[in-house]
Structure 1
Amino acid sequence: MSIELDHVIVPTRNKLVSAKLLAELLGVPWAPTSLGPFAPVFVSDGLTLDFMDTEEDFPIYHFCFRVSQQDFDAILGRIQAAGIAYRSSVRGPMDGQINTDYGGSMIYWNEPDGHQWEMLTVSYARQ
């Protein structure tokens, strides 16, 4: 049996703002009103991020997207055009640099509620 991650619920203060922003940056579709309490972002054919409003405290999540170099360049261009600060390390200052330590390209940025997004072209977890 093959096990695949289907969806993750992402807590947020404003599901529509957060989902729309991520979908636009990644260049993927989203549905602002289709699934009850969720604003889903269809990251790929097999993964959906379901943004859900909450007033409760929630931890900051970290999500990493592995993309092609061509997609990396396009997404980075959208991040830059939106004026979103990004960094080259998981922690540290927003240095606007690209990390190339693992033979590819990698950056990190945060969404309005603090969740951390990572984008890379070569996985350091699965070489």
Structure 2
Amino acid sequence: MPVELNHTIVPARDPQASAQFLADILGLSVDPPVAHFTPVTLANQVSLDYDQLDDFEPHHYAFIVSEQEFDAALARIQHGGITHYGDPACQEIGQIYRSKHTMGRRGAYFRDPDGHLMEILTPGGAGS
């Protein structure tokens, strides 16, 4: 059997609110609680299991989405007044990036309510 990622724990001050925030941006649903976790399951069946924690370092999570999903997610980000960036250092405010190395891959970064750096990106063309 090939090795696959099954889930990851995402620390959050308010797991339900943070899970709902991400689910709303990505056009997903928050799953029913599993023990004390609030999961959001992605299309490849990997779940982000939000868990309550008061003190943690922000993490980075990147999500590959189709071109249409990217446009829809970016529209939800903009409509929600969420600042997005064209770079991981969060200096290019209100921009998206287009990668020359992956033949047109587009992406954008934004912060969730707990400061985690979220990234949406398209698959790009050949060579990506």
TM over 0.5: yes
- Provide the rounded CA distance (Å) in 2 between the counterparts of 1:111 and 1:85: 10
Partner of 1:34: 33
In structure 1, how many angstroms separate the alpha carbons of the residues matched to 2:44 and 2:29? Answer: 11
Aligned residues of 2:39 and 2:50 also touching (Cα < 8 A)? yes
* Matches for 1:1-127 after TM superposition, within 5 Å: 1-31=1-31, 33-55=32-54, 57-93=55-91, 95-102=93-100, 103-122=104-123, 127=128
Instruction: Tell me by how many angstroms 1:34 deviates.
Output: 2.3
SS of aligned partner of 1:65: strand
8 Å CA contact retained: 1:85, 1:94: no
State the identity as a percent. 38
Deviation digits for residues 24-76 of structure 1, max 9, x if unmatched? Answer: 11011212x52121111112242110000012x21211011011101100111
**How much is the aligned-residue C-alpha RMSD, in angstroms?**
1.6
User: Counterpart of 2:13 in structure 1: which amino acid?
Assistant: R
SS of the residue corresponding to residue 84 of structure 2 reads coil
Shift of 1:95: 1.2
Separation in 1, partners of 2:114, 2:34: 21
2:98 is paired with a residue whose SS is: coil
Structure 1, unpaired ranges of 5+: none
Cα offset, 1:94, TM superposition: 5.2
Q: What residue ranges of structure 2 are gaps of 5+ in the alignment? A: none
Contact 2:12-2:114 within 8 A present in 1 as well: yes
C-alpha separation in 2, matches of 1:92 and 1:25: 18
